[in-house]
Amino acid sequence: METFGREMMYSVFRIRKALYTLIREDATRVGITELQLIILYTLSKKDNIRLNDLAEKLNMSNSTISGTIERLVSAELVIRKPSKEDRRAVTLHLSEKGKEKLQEAFNDESLLLQRLQKVETTLAKEEIETLLALQQKVRTILLGEE
Amino acid sequence: METFGREMMYSVFRIRKALYTLIREDATRVGITELQLIILYTLSKKDNIRLNDLAEKLNMSNSTISGTIERLVSAELVIRKPSKEDRRAVTLHLSEKGKEKLQEAFNDESLLLQRLQKVETTLAKEEIETLLALQQKVRTILLGEE
DNA sequence: CTGAAATAATTCGAATACGAACTATTCGCG
DNA sequence: CGCGAATAGTTCGTATTCGAATTATTTCAG
């Protein structure tokens, strides 16, 4: 009778959906998709990353990332360069246009940023820390690592 | 500097991915996909549901559900009947084959059920309740409803 | 130093996943 | 009653999403 476990599962699905809907709003406003925006943001935090490392960071298969990077390169938002150290590898960088697009998506209008801000101001610091700790605990169990 | 908000967001993404990977294992073992398994389970809990209601329950667009139901009907796992009350609507039901498939997916081998069980036995009851309450709080803020 | 194993990325096929456009039916206001 | 608005599903086009197969390169054991 896994009632609590299943409730937790549905709860996670609902929050994830709510977050994705907010991301989609910002992304659509500037004419790109959710994943494309997530990738632009990730590249802004970590330049010069390899494709497989990006896939691992985002918890996605490299085939998914490869296709999306292809479209971002076509749109001239990302630059894909062959790696100097390893000729099999490519390294990824934001173009100027990509940086501008990211700025435009996450500007003052961004509902996602407003709502995340609201989460931080509404919940007590200890509540957020408790939430993160419990979620980490759940994830560890789900991965069968404990 | 939405550090905590973003951490919370990534945390949710990671748990959702872990859950989906477990669901995929059970689904693949019996030859169907994640969403197909989720739909079979949902129909087992609520028979005679309409397509749009199912889509709303799963937080998905009706076009996504429509296509997947089409494949489930082709595989003879789901029965789609025109509604008696509303000639625009269809009602959905598990077939016997669908019930068997569901049983087979969620049997003793199911890693998902084992891990959910482990979450329940590992975390204290208050911890789970705290987690669900905090997640609900976060979701309400994200939806802009408070 | 060389061939087999491992690794980085791409490509492929099938199934989501969405919004928009469309068809068929029902609702509801005047 | 009767017609415009709303609703239930389907279809379409584009973009994920995955695992498996493939190509190119690097690593490493003998």
| pLDDT tens per residue across span A70-108 | 999 999 999 999 999 999 999 999 999 999 999 999 999
Q: What is the CATH number of the domain that holds B82?
A: 1.10.10.10
Residue A104 domain-assigned (yes or no): yes
With a 7 Å cutoff on the CB, does B94 touch strand C? Answer: no
Q: Residue B113 — pLDDT band, cuts 50, 70, 90?
A: very high
pLDDT at B142: 94
Residue A21 domain-assigned (yes or no): yes
Are B84 and B143 part of one and the same domain? no
Are B44 and B114 part of one and the same domain? no
Are B52 and B81 part of one and the same domain? yes
pLDDT at B1: 42
What's the mean per-residue pLDDT of chain A? Answer: 94
Residue A102 domain-assigned (yes or no): yes
Are B62 and B10 part of one and the same domain? yes
Give A52's contacts (C-beta < 8 A, 6+ positions apart).
Answer: A62, A89
| A 60-99: CB under 8 A from B | none
| pLDDT tens per residue across span B73-93 | 999 999 999 999 999 999 999
**Angle, nearest 10°, between helix axes A34-45 and A96-105?**
110
Residue A126 domain-assigned (yes or no): no
Closest residue to D15 measured CA to C1′: A33
What percent of chain B has a predicted confidence (pLDDT) above 90?
92
Are B101 and B136 part of one and the same domain? no
Query: Considering its fold, how many domains does chain B have in total?
Result: 2
- Distance in Å from C21's C1' to B61's CA comes to 15
Are B114 and B98 part of one and the same domain? no
With a 7 Å cutoff on the CB, does B91 touch strand D? Answer: yes
Are B101 and B130 part of one and the same domain? no
Are B121 and B137 part of one and the same domain? yes
pLDDT at A35: 98
Q: Distance from CA of residue A94 to its chain's centroid?
A: 15
Of A81, A113, A85, whose CA–CA distance to A95 is shortest?
A81
Distance from C-alpha of B118 to C-alpha of B131, rounded to nearest angstrom: 16
Least Cα separation, residue B2 to chain A (angstroms): 6
Residue A128 domain-assigned (yes or no): no
Full DSSP string of A89-118: -EEEEE-HHHHHHHHHHTSTT-HHHHHHHH
Report chain B residues whose CB lies below 8 A from the CB of A17.
59
ipTM of the complex: 0.91
pLDDT at A2: 47
| pLDDT tens per residue across span B37-54 | 999 999 999 999 999 999
pLDDT at residue A145 is higher than 90: no
What is the extent of the structural domain holding B26? 3-106
Are B74 and B119 part of one and the same domain? no
Are B67 and B30 part of one and the same domain? yes
Give A86's contacts (C-beta < 8 A, 6+ positions apart).
Answer: none
